[in-house]
Structure 1
Amino acid sequence: HDTMRPAREQHERIKMRLRLAGSSLAAVARELGVAATTVTTVSQGARRSRRIEAGIAAKLGVGPAELWPERYSAPESTPRHGGGP
């Protein structure tokens, strides 16, 4: 099928990069004080959280826009719907 979900592939790449960096989504969750499932759903693209996206990106030494360009394609001056509490 040609409808392979890019978000799923992206999630797998993020997990692989975290493993190569000696970390994991669960480690990011512990550091941020959130549930591992929450970090996973953000990585998979099912949920947005700028704080969690930034936490994952920081572990990899990159900006969130490098991991999720489609989420950060709008200019910074454009108001976006914010993350969680």
Structure 2
Amino acid sequence: MTNLKLTKEKPIVCSVITELQAAKIAKICQDYGIQSFIKLKPFVDISQLKKAVKAKMKERLYDPCPCGKGRKFKFCCYKNEINIEL
């Protein structure tokens, strides 16, 4: 029996075509603490993942950007961070 944390967040569902894409999605979910189900399908659907990542980043929008340019995160690297490419 595994020891799972009980949270109010529902797991998201992502559909990908290859196992490599599934591994990338799993890594992103792990980095952001997002629970997910990843299914292998003949199409890609990561819309729920993008929404979940945006929600997780909401609290640090006006923090200094980690890239070091001196700008706020929202106006610097935010768009690159939420633009998930497989």
Q: Give the TM-score category using the shorter length.
A: 0.3 to 0.5
Q: Which has the larger radius of gyration?
A: 2
More helix by share: 1
Structure 2 length normalisation: TM-score?
A: 0.35
More strand by share: 2
Structure 1 length normalisation: TM-score?
A: 0.35
